[in-house]
């Protein structure tokens, strides 16, 4: 049986639906010694900002039950250094490259996108509108600002725009619809969940910034629900993200409506998990007699639960 794992995400052809999630895979090329990057559906880079950022002070990562708490604070080298260095190396891999970006204002997003439109080898831009680890408000919590950013970058971008949203909202389906109405070509659902942890030996928070973003296996059911709800309300494709650690998780996200999926914490634990997830998706397709992975998108049978 020949299995077709190919999908089309907002016009981008991916040979399989498995992407790296932003920020857990470096700029993307560094991991090339550990796994064959060519096997991936695509790479989403860590978030790049206009100027370089040192990120938050240490400690900024802590393990919690079945998950990870981080407050990296968007450490990165800035857009100019990114296009002069990492982007060049990423282009040699031969898979679609999605560049994740963030700014403080609409103008900053516009400036970054203007620089990216002058480059070759970028398949899409993911707008990080949901970082919980900065001192200011999460951008997508201000719907007017979120829509202003999407509308303005859409006017100048030559590649699809994907809005990455926060799961910490009252109605994710409505927020995803607002992103679609502003012109987003796709959405990533979702980023981490604002959370915290305390060291009971010292009575101090485990992260220097006190709060951080919760990721990993423990968030999967909540992120899955985000995808399911949004899928009912929008007609742009979804990248499902949150707690995916195996092929079964990836299939669950696709059944709930995701066209592609991105893997964060599990790839941080071992980049080999990405390849394992691709292989496990194939196993499930084989066992369920599914020829094309596209068949399962949004195909959860909600008539009978078990």
Closest CA to 33 of 277, 274, 272: 272
Parallel, antiparallel, or unpaired for β 211-215 and 193-196?
antiparallel
The residues of the shown chain that bind ligand FMN, judged by CB under 6 A, are: 21-24, 46-47, 68, 70, 72, 74, 100, 128, 164, 191-192, 215-216, 219, 241-244, 263-266
In whole angstroms, how close is the CB of 303 to ligand FMN at the nearest point?
Answer: 29
Q: Which is nearer to ligand FMN, 180 or 240 (CB)?
A: 240
In whole angstroms, how close is the CB of 64 to ligand FMN at the nearest point?
Answer: 11
In whole angstroms, how close is the CB of 73 to ligand FMN at the nearest point?
Answer: 9
Query: Any residues with CB less than 8 A from the CB of 53 and at least 6 apart, and which?
Result: 73, 74, 75, 76, 78
Is the separation of the CB atoms in 267 and 274 below 8 Å?
A: yes
- Nearest residue relative to ligand FMN (C-beta): 23
Catalytic residues: 131
In whole angstroms, how close is the CB of 43 to ligand FMN at the nearest point?
Answer: 12
Closest CA to 29 of 16, 46, 15: 46
Q: Which is nearer to ligand FMN, 259 or 290 (CB)?
A: 259
- Per DSSP, the residues of 77-111 read --HHHHHHTHHHHHHTT-S-EEEEE--SSHHHHHH
Q: Which is nearer to ligand FMN, 140 or 219 (CB)?
A: 219
Q: Which is nearer to ligand FMN, 42 or 264 (CB)?
A: 264
């Amino acid at each position: 049986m020949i299995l077709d794992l190919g999908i089309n995400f907002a016009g981008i052809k991916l040979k399989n639906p498995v992407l790296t999630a932003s920020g857990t895979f470096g700029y993307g090329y560094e991991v090339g010694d550990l796994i064959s990057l060519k096997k991936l559906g695509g790479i989403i880079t860590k978030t790049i900002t206009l100027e370089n950022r040192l990120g938050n002070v240490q400690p900024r990562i802590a393990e919690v039950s079945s998950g990870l708490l981080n407050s990296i604070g968007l450490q990165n080298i800035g857009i100019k250094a990114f296009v002069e260095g990492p982007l060049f190396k990423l282009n040699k891999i031969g898979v679609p490259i999605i560049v994740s970006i963030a700014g403080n204002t609409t103008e900053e997003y516009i400036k970054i996108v203007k620089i990216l439109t002058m480059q070759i080898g970028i398949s899409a831009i993911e707008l990080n509108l949901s970082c919980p680890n900065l001192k200011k408000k999460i951008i997508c919590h201000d719907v007017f600002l979120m829509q202003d950013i999407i509308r303005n970058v859409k006017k100048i971008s030559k590649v699809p725009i994907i809005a990455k949203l926060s799961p910490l909202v009252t109605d994710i389906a409505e927020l995803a619809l607002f992103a679609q109405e502003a012109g987003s070509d796709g959405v990533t659902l979702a980023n981490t969940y604002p959370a915290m942890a305390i060291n009971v030996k010292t009575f101090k928070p485990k992260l220097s910034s006190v709060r951080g973003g919760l990721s990993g296996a423990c968030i999967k059911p909540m992120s899955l629900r985000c995808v399911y709800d949004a899928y009912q309300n929008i007609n742009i494709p979804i990248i499902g993200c949150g707690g995916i650690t195996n092929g079964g998780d990836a299939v669950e996200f696709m059944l709930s409506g995701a066209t592609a999926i991105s893997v964060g914490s599990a790839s941080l634990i071992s980049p080999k998990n990405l390849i394992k997830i691709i292989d496990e998706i194939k196993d499930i397709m084989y066992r369920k007699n599914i020829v094309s992975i596209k068949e399962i998108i949004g195909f959860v049978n909600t008539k009978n639960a078990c």
